[in-house]
């Protein structure tokens, strides 16, 4: 199983957040202001890794667990 460091996971989190930010439109911002949202800092590390691998593939050097 792949094991990412906390720094790598935070880098993934930041990349996902930046990617989402770049795609926001005015109507998206209006909906966020109306309904709110869960911020990227509140998403579980395992979910961050899963989403990042789904979007970008496995691009980071990882430590293999024995």
Domain range summary for the chain, segments of one domain joined by +: 7-56
pTM over 0.75: yes
Structure tokens of 25?
């439109």
CB burial class (10 A; 0-12, 13-18, 19+) of residue 24?
Answer: exposed
| Per-residue confidence (pLDDT) for residue 1, from 0 to 100 | 46
* Tokens encoding 1: 């199983």
- In the chain, which residues have pLDDT < 50? 1
């Amino acid at each position: 199983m792949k094991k990412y460091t906390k720094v790598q996971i935070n880098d993934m989190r930041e990349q996902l957040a930046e990617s989402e930010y770049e795609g926001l439109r005015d109507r998206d911002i209006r909906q966020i202001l109306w309904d709110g949202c869960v911020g990227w800092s509140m998403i579980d590390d395992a979910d961050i890794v899963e989403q990042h691998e789904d979007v970008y593939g496995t691009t980071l050097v990882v430590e293999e667990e024995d």
